[in-house]
Amino acid sequence: MNPMVTMAFRFIKVTIILVMMFVLSFILCAVIFIYLQDWMNPRGTISMKTFLAVTGFVLMVIFFIAFGWCVGKPLTYLIRWINRLSEGNYSQPQEHFRMPSEGSDGSLHHNHYRYPYVLYKELFDRMTQLSNQLQRSETDRINMEAKKQEWIAAISHDLKTPLSYVEGYAHMLAAADYQWTDEEKQNFSRQISDKTAEMKQLIHDLNQTGRWSVEQFPMNKREDDIVNFLRDMMIDIANHPLAEQASFTFTEQESVCMMDFDSRLLGRVFQNVFMNAVIHNPPGIEIQCGISLDGKRCIIVIEDNGIGIQETKLRQALDQSGKGIAIANAFVEAHAGCMSILPADGKGTQVKIVLPIRS
């Protein structure tokens, strides 16, 4: 049955019950007055007409109070509830429920409405659904905003890497104490062009942030060879002007490993890890990168022999959005993987990334 029709029938039922109680009370009072008058037969008592008029007036006042309580109290409460929603308080008030009952699992359940709120049971059910929906929407909005801010901070951080490439090669081309060959100049120009394109893509991602319709990072997974991809990323970092005095070693268990991943996000993971090793360690740093397979998992270990990182600073970096380590960790988790950072066997830092081959 339509909820509005159900409420209308319930409203009519309550009205009829109150009217019947009013009539029965009036009749009962009249009968009692008549019997008392015949039994006592006192002189100077009030007349029947006066008694009935006073009784009818009192009962009428009581009737309107009861009717106003049954009808008006839930409406007043509903108005206060709507005002709470308009002020951004989407938590569901529990005043219209009876004492909660304990379920078989030990949890509390609200099974019945208190009187007189039961008169508008269907309306309160809809208001409860509305409050819950608004609460979920607000939670989703907050999570979305936090995710957007994290994404913006990540892009802003990652823009520094290609910018440092451009800046480094520009300084090298402008150096007056060295004459570059045409082949070297072409290579520098090609590197600057590639990094400029990368910066344009990052800026494009930044512009797309406001158009998200989901909470997750914008993903574009494609099947590719993760071994070759990781090798190319390491070679690219090795050609960075800041990595001129660093040495890189790449080892592989399998020559090919096909898996689904987003090359932009995962590329930024490796870029952050490699560049952190280069920037935060003295010249002459040795960086080893190995990739192996373990069942349906791809295990990537990047290790350096630098100064290492303190555990307290590591925890802070993992919790701070916009930092290189936190960005890399977020992107790995977006691929259903996990990343751990530990001290290396001798000295330095070891970064271990585990990715599912088929997520």
Q: Which domain holds residue 243?
A: 219-356
Does 323 lie in the same domain as 200? no
CATH number of the domain at 234, please: 3.30.565.10
Q: Reply yes or no on whether the pLDDT at 100 is more than 60.
A: no
* Long-range contacts of 135-140, Cβ-Cβ distance < 8 Å, separation of 24 or more: 135/90, 135/91, 135/92, 138/88, 138/90, 140/215
pLDDT tens, position by position, 109-156: 445 777 777 777 888 888 888 888 888 888 888 877 777 777 677 677
Does 170 lie in the same domain as 86? no
Does 279 lie in the same domain as 224? yes
Does 224 lie in the same domain as 207? no
Most distant CA pair in the chain: distance in Å?
A: 134
Does 181 lie in the same domain as 63? no
Q: Is 290 within the bounds of a domain?
A: yes
Who has greater pLDDT, 156 or 214? 156
Residue 57 buriedness (CB in 10 A; 0-12 / 13-18 / 19+) = exposed
Q: Is 13 within the bounds of a domain?
A: yes
Q: Is 204 within the bounds of a domain?
A: yes
Does 285 lie in the same domain as 232? yes
- Predicted TM-score of the model (pTM): 0.51
Residue 206 has a pLDDT of 66
For residues 349 and 324, the answer to whether their CB atoms sit within 8 Å is: no
Does 310 lie in the same domain as 223? yes
Q: Is 140 within the bounds of a domain?
A: no
Our count of domains for the chain comes to 3
Angle in degrees, CA 151, 154, 155, rounded to 5:
90
Q: Which residues of 317-352 are buried (b: 16+ CB within 10 A; e: fewer)?
A: beeebebbbbbbbbbbebbebebebeebeeebbbbe
Does 199 lie in the same domain as 125? no
Residues pairing with 290 in the sheet: 251, 301
Residue 122 has a pLDDT of 80
State the pLDDT confidence band at 40, using cuts at 50, 70 and 90.
Answer: low
Mean pLDDT on 66-82: 83
Distance CA 82, CA 122 (A): 16
Q: Is 154 within the bounds of a domain?
A: no
Does 119 lie in the same domain as 43? yes
Distance CA 327, CA 271 (A): 11
Q: Is 151 within the bounds of a domain?
A: no
**Nearest CA-CA partner of 232 in 244, 220, 242, 224:** 224
Structure token pair of residue 124: 């309160």
> Mean pLDDT across the chain, nearest whole number?
78
Q: Name the domain boundary from 213, 232, 249.
A: 213
pLDDT tens, position by position, 13-23: 888 888 888 88
State the pLDDT confidence band at 103, using cuts at 50, 70 and 90.
Answer: very low
Query: Which range in 39-53, 194-208, 217-231 is most confidently predicted, on average pLDDT?
Result: 217-231
Residue 355 has a pLDDT of 94
Q: Reply yes or no on whether the pLDDT at 69 is more than 70.
A: yes
**Nearest CA-CA partner of 171 in 248, 278, 244, 276:** 244
Does 335 lie in the same domain as 288? yes
Does 123 lie in the same domain as 23? yes
Q: Is 247 within the bounds of a domain?
A: yes
Residues pairing with 316 in the sheet: none
Does 224 lie in the same domain as 209? no
Q: Reply yes or no on whether the pLDDT at 88 is more than 90.
A: no
Residue 106 has a pLDDT of 43
| Preceding amide of 283 cis, omega within 30 | no
Q: Is 143 within the bounds of a domain?
A: no
